[in-house]
Structure 1
Amino acid sequence: MSTYEYYKEMFAEIPRPFALVDLDMLDDNARAISRAAGGKKVRLASKSIRSVDVLHRILDSDPMFQGIMCYTATEAVFLAEQGFDDLLLGYPQWQSEAVRSIVNLVSEGRSITLMVDSVEHVEHIEQFAKQQSTVMPLCIDLDMSVHYPGLHFGVWRSPVHSWEGMYPIVERIIGSPWLRLDGIMGYEAQVAGVGDHAARKYVKNTLVRWLKSRSIIEAAKRRQEVVERLNALEIRLRFVNAGGTGSLDSSRKEAWVTEITAGSGFYAPGLFDHYASFRYKPAAAYAIEVVRIPKAGIVTCMGGGYTASGTADKDKLAKPYLPEGLELFSLEGAGEVQTPLRLPAHVQLDLGDPVFFRHAKAGELCERFKVLYAVSQGRIVGEYATYRGMGECFL
């Protein structure tokens, strides 16, 4: 594990703030994710990486990493321009120009699949496919949330909960000469994206683990049913996509799953500290600078308020990383222009010293910085451009 002095010395001449990716940890995480997938292909979730250089590095590291799950059509066009192929849009796209741009690329021979979860999505895409005389591959998003009295456990994504809800979409796709059913996706977000090992929250952790265990069973049943129904109709899918980094150990057990999506685990952001079943290495971080010392035991840094999306709670705040033991103040948190920190007794920081943080989520960190300083074996070995550094901002 890297230490404060290790990074401080390495970045002594780099102006703050800056972001870094530790390639040694990134590579270790990639190997661990490949093993955890249990022989399944792993599709990279670009929203959790947001750097062309990092995407290339991971895809080139292991043949088990194949394809990318994008989050917008404009991002998919950008990645296609960078030479990536086998792109799956993880979310439905509606803007006409965006859909048309994807159909145009498919007409040129690129492998890009659009996501749908309604007949309306299908018919909207069909008109552009027909205009271009192009057969457009589609993927149907199968909802994986579960419902209990007074509790919706999962995220609000697709309205398709079962084969009965999926069949009208399937029927519409196979009835069109301009469309092809390419795959099925089911993202069990409540398994992959919810921590179950939070400190001092035994009751909540126990409940979440129980809910997860029930969700895993239900997700497998739903996926198996739709795959068997499609097989009965002699529809052969190119892929059946499941899960995320947090559900590799369960999604890999389903025989009908051909690939698992993973993204956050490569950087291992702060939220990934709260899982009982795995632990990856903190490969991404950012540094801000001490500019004030209000009193003994307290320093104030410039900037640092990089809060993650989602519910507005303290889990979405960036986490002080190095030196170890620093704490945010509950009444200020990480601020837009300054961040005060309480120091443990054994830590002393001076004006100009860096403080390293980990973002709560993975790829969102890249929206704040143009480059990730790539480090390995105690040296800065390169600068990996982020999407922002390449002049792109998709969401």
Structure 2
Amino acid sequence: MRRNRLDAATKDLDPPFAIVDLDAFDHNAADLARRAAGHPIRVASKSIRVRDLVSRALERPGYQGVMCYSLAEALWLSEQNVSEDLLVAYPTADRASLQKLAANETARQRVTIMVDSTEHLDFVDAAIGPHSDIRVCLELDVSWRPLPGVHIGPRRSSIHTPQQAKALAAKIAQRRGFKLVGVMAYEGQIAGLGDNPPGQPLRALGIRFIQARSGPELIHRRTAVVSAVRQVVDLEFVNGGGTGSLELTGSDPSVTELAAGSGLFGPTLFDGYQAFKPEPAALFALSVVRKPNKHTATLFAGGYIASGTPTPDRQPSPYLPEGLKTLGLEGAGEVQTPVTGKAAEHLRIGDRVWMRHAKAGELFERFDEVHLVHGDRIERTVPTYRGERRNFG
């Protein structure tokens, strides 16, 4: 029984604390590699935020490179020799980090920054003055636009068509101090949107309709974009996808690598997919501190809300013992989280409840360290980014 195993492994710890179950983590890593079907997976660090676990994933077959969420993070991971292939997934306006990048030859060889307009190039030039080649990646918008004015997917890049991509690639190629090495396209309406949301059959039908039509369109357009850009420069990589779209993105002949991170931890937002089901690997434990009545137990702390839309699916969820739920009028709170259900009748003061976060790496912005559990013991305890005094926003 998993609850007994985790309780035994952490019996000497006082909640709140966080763990990663290495058995589940390694299972998830292997399953992601299987789904990638030979494409290397770039580890999305924002979904991990524990340096030791980023390295653990990179040591496995099928994983190569890191997708960072900030330039400052990429520079730090380079200093720590975590990887020699660091792609910053979002454009940067961090002048101090750009100056550090320009001054560090090793970092310039390892780090690639994201652009989708000449304004990004202008910002870099203004921040650092004359400079040696900065590696850049062109981001393509792969949202679905079935009708004028309809935009389904994340609002990211300004580049949507092959013509726009080729024009920007040509401008980058003409700019001194820049080297275009890659193209990235994140299909968030597929990779980050579960097609089987629990208890929402009508929403599920709508999502499947969108994905069934968006998928073929983006493969056709991304292939055309990559072909157009390759007429201008030789590309080292074409990155696409995320945990939720590995099969689809891997079927695109223009893609050379995939990205994934959340699937290693299996947060609750990834329970809503038909094609795969990751094991919950990242958990946190809370203590029962009150019994307001027979059917309710109140836990200390726990209000670790995920980013995104302010909807109930962004709240953490009770996991073990089974049969618990939070209260609709109170939810998970800053200092207390009441839970109810049949299992609450058997909880006593001092008992622990295992919780799952809605997203992946955001959990570890709440903890300085994470206990890595293997079997029924703690294998070791390692710092999170926060525990290493690294806050990248």
The TM-score by the shorter chain falls in which range?
Answer: over 0.9
Query: Distance between the aligned counterparts of 1:164 and 1:6, measured in 2?
Result: 56
Query: Distance between the aligned counterparts of 1:345 and 1:78, measured in 2?
Result: 45
Answer with 327-336 or 75-84: which moved more.
75-84
TM-score (norm 2): 0.96
- SS for the counterpart of 1:183 is strand
Cα deviation for residue 131 of structure 1 reads 2.5
Instruction: Read off the aligned partner of 1:251 and give its amino acid letter.
Output: T
Q: Counterpart of 1:90?
A: 89
Map 1:113-128 → 2, pairs under 5 A = 113-126=112-125
Q: Counterpart of 1:291?
A: 289
Structure 1: which 5+ runs fail to align?
none
Structure 2: which 5+ runs fail to align?
none
Q: Counterpart of 1:256?
A: 254
Q: Counterpart of 1:224?
A: 223
Q: Counterpart of 1:340?
A: 338
Answer with 139-148 or 258-267: which moved more.
139-148
Q: Counterpart of 1:358?
A: 356
Map 1:79-228 → 2, pairs under 5 A = 79-84=77-82, 85-106=84-105, 110-126=109-125, 131-132=130-131, 134-149=132-147, 151-228=150-227
Contact (CA 8 Å) 2:180, 2:235: kept in 1 or not?
yes
1:377 matches 2:381: no
Q: Counterpart of 2:32?
A: 33
Cα deviation for residue 107 of structure 1 reads 5.7
Query: Distance between the aligned counterparts of 2:344 and 2:130, measured in 1?
Result: 68
Cα deviation for residue 106 of structure 1 reads 4.1
Query: Distance between the aligned counterparts of 2:341 and 2:347, measured in 1?
Result: 8
1:367 to 365, 371, 376: 365
Query: Distance between the aligned counterparts of 2:143 and 2:107, measured in 1?
Result: 37
Cα deviation for residue 82 of structure 1 reads 1.2
Change in 2 beyond 3 A, CA 1:347/1:148: farther
- SS for the counterpart of 2:104 is helix
Contact (CA 8 Å) 2:304, 2:316: kept in 1 or not?
yes
Query: Distance between the aligned counterparts of 2:265 and 2:320, measured in 1?
Result: 16
- SS for the counterpart of 1:352 is coil
Contact (CA 8 Å) 1:22, 1:375: kept in 2 or not?
yes
Contact (CA 8 Å) 1:113, 1:136: kept in 2 or not?
yes
User: CA RMSD for the aligned pairs?
Assistant: 1.6
Cα deviation for residue 80 of structure 1 reads 1.1
Answer with 83-92 or 145-154: which moved more.
145-154
Instruction: Read off the aligned partner of 2:135 and give its amino acid letter.
Output: P
Query: Distance between the aligned counterparts of 1:346 and 1:291, measured in 2?
Result: 12
CA deviation profile, 1:275-312 (whole Å, cap 9, x unmatched)? 11111110100011000000101100100000000000
- SS for the counterpart of 1:77 is helix
Contact (CA 8 Å) 1:290, 1:352: kept in 2 or not?
yes
Contact (CA 8 Å) 2:369, 2:382: kept in 1 or not?
yes
Change in 2 beyond 3 A, CA 1:102/1:394: same
- SS for the counterpart of 2:8 is helix
Paired residues, number: 391
- SS for the counterpart of 1:307 is coil
Query: Distance between the aligned counterparts of 1:347 and 1:151, measured in 2?
Result: 49
1:392 matches 2:390: yes
- SS for the counterpart of 1:394 is coil
Cα deviation for residue 167 of structure 1 reads 2.8
Instruction: Read off the aligned partner of 1:338 and give its amino acid letter.
Output: Q
TM-score (norm 1): 0.95
- SS for the counterpart of 1:110 is helix
Change in 2 beyond 3 A, CA 1:12/1:116: same
Q: Counterpart of 1:331?
A: 329
